[in-house]
Amino acid sequence: MAEPVLRLSGISKRFGPVIANEAISLELRRGELLALLGENGAGKTTLMSILFGHYTADAGHIEVEGRPLPPGRPRAAIDAGIGMVHQHFSLADNLTVLENVMTGSEPVWRLRSNRGPARRKLMAIAERFGLRVDPGRRVGDLSVGEQQRVEILKALYNDARILILDEPTAVLTGREAETLYATLRMMAQEGLSLIFISHKLREVMAAADRIVVLRGGRSVAERAPADTSRSDLAELMVGRRIARPQRAPATPGAPVVEARGVSARHAGGTDLHAIDFTLHAGETLGIVGVAGNGQTALARLANGLLAPYRGRLTILGRAVRRPDVGALVRAGVGRIPEDRTREGVIGEFALWENAVLERIDLARFSRRGIVNRAAARRFTQEIIDAFDVRGGGPDHRASLLSGGNMQKLILGRNMIEGPRLLIAAQPTRGLDEGAIAAIHTRLLEARAAGAAVLLISEDLDEVIGLADRIHAIAGGRMSPPVAAEAADARRLGLMMAGDWDEERAADAH
């Protein structure tokens, strides 16, 4: 058995009354692929942020190859051979791949950048690990998968021997995820040591050499994949058996959303081209597609952030001719955006501010321009209690919530008063099994209460399990609908590639 290259001993960290880590110890061996598993808020990212120097532990110490690692200094971590790829990339969109990789690697007083040797070093690393990317391309023009390659290359360019990846497949397609894990396995065979944080049990079981499970800020188990199962890991994560809810038969009502020949332009994304669909009260309409094929434009259209330039779109009986988010929210539209950190909450705002942000003009929360903070805090506490939002009270800062609790806050503010239309874009992306089951339950409850639910997701199992009818979107064009009972992963995969059979599609307009 290889010697440990990394030791964390007795690491503890608190944020006010919240225990993020408590006396956690773990080791990482050379050439090992270690999975750090746990539900949202279990302390995984905090622990890795302490390792990389973003946070300083309240207690405990870290050794890298037998030497103490100075706390709270990212530069010291980099110099010790530690690299970190964050879930939310820290790249400059307006710079090239090479410029991003070189950022921070040269002295600020150097008059000329040493680009030639840097480019050669970058290309050698890319070739060695199969991370192909054009060093001259602007990062803003790259796909999500390509941007992740740049983040990994940046760490390797800084001579990382220990690589930490936080939710590396949260925004990747299934094929991109398979490619990534093949690359990580190659790195481990080359002698690199890797820790990856994940909620995806299938990936953890397939990729990891060893699995460490955190729960409530504590290390509760260590397993080899051969000695455990997905159901056992899910129970270790949350402390109880997890079962996803089952969809009951729907009783659709009147049309809530109708699109006929709708085309819309999406700056910086894929446009929509002459799409047709109908969504009724009391049903869930699922939309599947490979990332970047028009899902974002569709969500923005339904959310009131885009308007069609051709065709007819009707939401809740009103023709949509121009963007008007406020009017849709007041009419009873609930919005769960695909990017919760950029579009769902303002991290520096308190929970109560985020809870009422879209409804601040309602009489219950403000009058004559003065915010009724007491009412806003009461509303927020109702959400916290009803949706099990963990991590603090109404005055707690939103940025300190875990991803799952942030998503539950967004879900709660949109659902607690019963929406007529709920638009859920990637509602469980990056969440653990317990949070996924809770959110699925809420979506099914909204449907049962008569809401129309538009579910946009790249998770085929999620869509098949929740939706009554399913469309695929490819290149901004939409397939005819198929009944969920007639859908399977193979058929949906073909439809996502733009291959749909007009005759066999179950048109349920």
pLDDT tens-digit series, residues 114-135 = 788 888 999 998 888 888 888 8
Q: Which candidate, 385, 386, 393, 404, places its Cα nearest to that of 351?
A: 393
What beta strand segments (E) does 176-226 contain? 193-198, 210-215, 218-223
CA–CA distance, 122 with 116 (Å, rounded to integer) = 10
Counts of helices then strands in the chain (DSSP H, E): 16, 23
**pLDDT value at residue 454:** 97
**pLDDT value at residue 469:** 95
**pLDDT value at residue 63:** 95
Q: Which candidate, 185, 180, 242, 181, places its Cα nearest to that of 215?
A: 242
Asked whether 350 and 394 are in contact (CB, 8 A), the reply is: yes
**pLDDT value at residue 447:** 95
Put residue 89 in one of left, alpha, beta given phi > 0 → left and psi -120 to 50 → alpha: beta
Using CA atoms in the order 58, 405, 173, 264, what is the torsion angle rounded to 10 degrees? -130
Q: Which candidate, 420, 392, 422, places its Cα nearest to that of 406?
A: 392
Q: Which domains does the chain have, with CATH numbers?
A: 4-238 (3.40.50.300), 255-332+418-496 (3.40.50.300)
Positions of the chain with pLDDT lower than 50, given as ranges: 108, 111, 503-509
Mean pLDDT score of the chain = 87
Q: State which amino acid sits at residue 130.
A: G
Asked whether 215 and 21 are in contact (CB, 8 A), the reply is: no
**pLDDT value at residue 505:** 44
**pLDDT value at residue 504:** 46
What beta strand segments (E) does 50-113 contain? 59-64, 67-68, 82-85
Asked whether 325 and 367 are in contact (CB, 8 A), the reply is: no
**pLDDT value at residue 506:** 46
CA–CA distance, 67 with 308 (Å, rounded to integer) = 61
